[in-house]
Amino acid sequence: MPQGTIYLVATPIGNLKDMSFRAIEVLKTVDHILCEDTRRSANLFKYYGIQTKRSSFHDHNKNYKAPVFIKRIQAGENIALISDAGTPGVSDPGFYLAREALKENIAVTAVPGPSAFLSALVISGLPTDRFVFEGFLPKKPNKRKERLRQFINETRTIVFYESPYRINNLLAEIMDVVGDRDICLARELTKIYEQTFRGSI
Q: For residue 85, is pLDDT > 90?
A: yes
* Average pLDDT of the segment spanning 128-152: 95
Q: For residue 94, is pLDDT > 80?
A: yes
Query: What would the DSSP string read from start to end of 25-49?
Result: HHHHHSSEEEES-HHHHHHHHHHHT
Query: Confidence class of residue 1 from pLDDT cuts 50, 70 and 90?
Result: confident
Residue that is last in its domain, among 81, 111, 141: 111
CB-side neighbour CA atoms (13 Å) of 42: 4
Residue that is last in its domain, among 59, 89, 111: 111
Range of weakest confidence among 48-52, 137-141, 146-150: 137-141
Does 94 lie in the same domain as 180?
no
Q: What is the pLDDT of residue 39?
A: 92
Q: What is the pLDDT of residue 201?
A: 86
Does 90 lie in the same domain as 65?
yes
Q: For residue 51, is pLDDT > 90?
A: yes
Closest CA to 154 of 138, 184, 134, 139: 134
Tens of pLDDT, residues 177-195? 999 999 999 999 999 999 9
Query: Confidence class of residue 200 from pLDDT cuts 50, 70 and 90?
Result: very high
What CATH number is associated with residue 71?
Answer: 3.40.1010.10
Does 196 lie in the same domain as 120?
yes
Does 85 lie in the same domain as 22?
yes
Q: Output the pTM of the full model.
A: 0.91
* Average pLDDT of the segment spanning 75-83: 97
Q: What is the pLDDT of residue 92?
A: 87
Tens of pLDDT, residues 24-38? 999 999 999 999 999
* Average pLDDT of the segment spanning 121-150: 96
Q: Count the domains in the chain.
A: 2
Q: For residue 20, is pLDDT > 90?
A: yes
Distance (Å, whole) CA 200 – CA 45: 41
Residue that is last in its domain, among 82, 111, 140: 111
Distance (Å, whole) CA 89 – CA 140: 24
What CATH number is associated with residue 125?
Answer: 3.30.950.10
Domain that holds residue 55: 5-111
Does 29 lie in the same domain as 84?
yes
